[in-house]
Amino acid sequence: MIKTKLYPILLLTLALFVSACSGGSDDSQTENNETQATESTTEASDDVRTIDIIGIDKMKFVVKEEGEMLGTASTVETAQGDSYILLESIDAKPGEKIRIRLTTKSQLPPQAMSHNWVLLNKNADPATFANAATGASDNDYIPSDMSDQIIAHTAMAGGDETVEVTFTAPEETGDYPYLCSFPAHFSAGMKGVLNVQ
């Protein structure tokens, strides 16, 4: 009598257990697929807008592809024969979170060729900043007495190195200058404007 009452309950428990297990494996399968999809793209896993910039020996900021919010005009050919698009400005929304990921493409030693990306205040003069930076070799060419003019900056990246910085675009609209502060790179054209609008 007891056995016949327990048997259906046992079956039911077993059925629930099996379905729970198979359901679990379905979930983990989905998770695996999602992980693979994320890894195969260059986008970061979070939803921060990421801009991949390359610094080349010709002392220019370039990108691989034209982006919707990237001010790009001419094509730049490197000495190695690679073709890139010159990056002259970046459009941003007020308060937008942005990640700049900068890679230096160079065979030269880092003392001779490194790049960084420095975003300055709207009213800052990038030429003055670049001049001051040449004397700040002991601080990765960031003049410490002008830190109040910096909104965000990456570290220096030598050949094949990638550095990044995530920052929030200013709420105030306008043109914010950015530059590479390695000596002579600003005057060679390693500069641009973050256009907040």
- If binding is defined by CB under 5 A, does position 180 make contact with Cu ion? yes
Minimum CB separation from Cu ion for residue 55, in Å? Answer: 5
CA–CA distance, 7 with 10 (Å, rounded to integer): 5
Residue closer to Cu ion, measured from CB, 115 or 153: 115
Q: Residue type for 171, please?
A: E
Which stretch, 36-44, 70-78, 151-159, 183-191, contacts Cu ion (CB under 5 A)?
183-191
Terminal-to-terminal C-alpha distance of the chain: 79
d(CA 80, CA 78): 5
Site of tokens 């990421």: 50
The alpha carbon torsion through 84, 87, 93, 99 (nearest 10 deg) reads: 60
- Collapsing DSSP to helix, strand or coil, 26 comes out as helix
Is position 56 an interface residue for Cu ion (rule: CB under 5 A)?
no
Interface with Cu ion includes 179 (CB under 5 A)? Answer: no
Q: Interacting stretch for Cu ion, rule CB under 5 A, among 22-30, 40-48, 111-119, 136-144?
A: 111-119
Nearest distance from C-beta of residue 120 to Cu ion, angstroms:
15
Min dist CB 185 to Cu ion, Å, is 3
Token output for 105: 């493409």
Binding mask 112-131 for Cu ion (x = CB under 5 A): ---x----------------
Residues that bind Cu ion (CB under 5 A): 115, 180, 182, 185, 190
